[in-house]
């Protein structure tokens, strides 16, 4: 695919990332994502269009509100940048399969929103997981990871969703027996079902392994930096979302993890 198209996809990604920031801020507060226009959360002044340009405005304003000079959360440029990079990569990878490209882009955007909200509030809004699950089922016919006739592909998405939910439910059950407390959130069950619908049974296993690896590295880093205590709750949604996005970009089969054992 031509480099200029990848570049345009990245610019589009920046603008979409800007909208995802609005969703991340407003959805947990149950505010409308359409009205009113973006405003500074500190002084409530509506942003001028030239102060609302993805990434650039943050840099030009030096990370401070033009009106009240309070710092703007670093989350805004980070989400915009991540969205731009993922959009460009997905275009590069799936440009020749437009319907599947649409499915992975929309679900990646929802995964980003889920990840940041879970990271900040420890909550996963199930409506987002339902949306990804619906995309996974209805676009299963174009899913390059599934094989066989269309109804077989649909079956693989459905079985993936069921196995995903069952697997995390089992983990939650075992965790509760061992630690005598809730180890897995209810939101994680629907999130796993959603990932299963996009990636199938092997994709669920693969995403769970990748997410556990990232989650462990993150948890150990926090312990070393003394930012967390041993049994502090670490949100799992961000790592599951990241693992799912990686697998949607390029599938990592589970034999990859056991090849060297």
- Contacting positions for Zn ion (CB under 5 A): 40, 42-43, 65, 67-68
Nearer to Zn ion, 11 or 43 (CB): 43
The nearest distance, CB 158 to Zn ion, in angstroms, is 48
Q: Dihedral (C-alpha) 85, 15, 20, 188: value to the nearest 10 degrees? A: -20
The nearest distance, CB 40 to Zn ion, in angstroms, is 3
Question: What is the rounded CA–CA span in Å between residue 19 and residue 52?
Answer: 11
For residue 36, cis peptide bond before it (omega within 30 degrees of 0):
yes
Nearer to Zn ion, 40 or 53 (CB): 40
Report the b/e string of 28-59 with b at 16+ CB within 10 A: eeeeeeeeeebebeeeeeebeeebebbbebbe
The nearest distance, CB 37 to Zn ion, in angstroms, is 14
Closest CA to 247 of 43, 107, 124, 95: 107
Closest CA to 67 of 47, 82, 86, 50: 47
The nearest distance, CB 64 to Zn ion, in angstroms, is 8
The nearest distance, CB 147 to Zn ion, in angstroms, is 53
The nearest distance, CB 155 to Zn ion, in angstroms, is 52
The token pair at 9 is 């996809």
Nearer to Zn ion, 46 or 223 (CB): 46
Nearer to Zn ion, 64 or 233 (CB): 64
Question: What is the rounded CA–CA span in Å between residue 237 and residue 116?
Answer: 9
Nearer to Zn ion, 22 or 159 (CB): 22
Nearer to Zn ion, 68 or 127 (CB): 68
Residue 207: phi and psi, rounded to 5, are -65, -35
Closest CA to 54 of 92, 25, 86, 22: 22
């Amino acid at each position: 695919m031509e480099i200029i198209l990848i570049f345009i996809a990245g610019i589009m990604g920046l603008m979409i990332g800007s909208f995802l920031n609005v969703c991340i801020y407003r959805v947990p507060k149950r505010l409308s994502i359409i009205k009113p226009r973006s405003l500074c959360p500190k002084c409530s002044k509506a942003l001028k269009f030239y102060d609302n340009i993805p990434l650039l405005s943050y840099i030009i304003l030096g990370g401070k509100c033009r009106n009240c000079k309070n710092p703007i959360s670093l989350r805004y440029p980070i989400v915009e940048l991540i969205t731009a990079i993922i959009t460009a990569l997905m275009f590069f990878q799936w440009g020749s399969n437009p319907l599947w490209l649409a499915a992975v882009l929309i679900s990646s955007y929802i995964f980003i929103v889920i990840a940041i909200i879970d990271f900040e509030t420890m909550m996963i809004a199930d409506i987002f997981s339902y949306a990804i699950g619906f995309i996974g089922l209805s676009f299963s016919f174009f899913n390059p990871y599934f094989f066989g006739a269309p109804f077989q592909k649909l079956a693989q998405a459905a079985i993936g969703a069921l196995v995903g939910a069952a697997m995390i439910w089992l983990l939650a059950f075992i965790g509760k027996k061992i630690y005598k407390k809730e180890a897995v959130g209810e939101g994680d069950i629907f999130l796993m079902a959603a990932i299963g619908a996009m990636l199938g049974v092997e994709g669920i296993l693969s995403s769970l392994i990748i997410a556990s690896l990232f989650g462990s590295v993150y948890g150990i880093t926090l312990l070393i930096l003394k930012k967390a205590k041993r049994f502090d709750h670490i949100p799992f949604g961000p790592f599951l979302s990241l693992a799912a996005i990686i697998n949607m970009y390029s599938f990592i089969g589970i034999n990859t993890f056991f090849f060297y054992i």
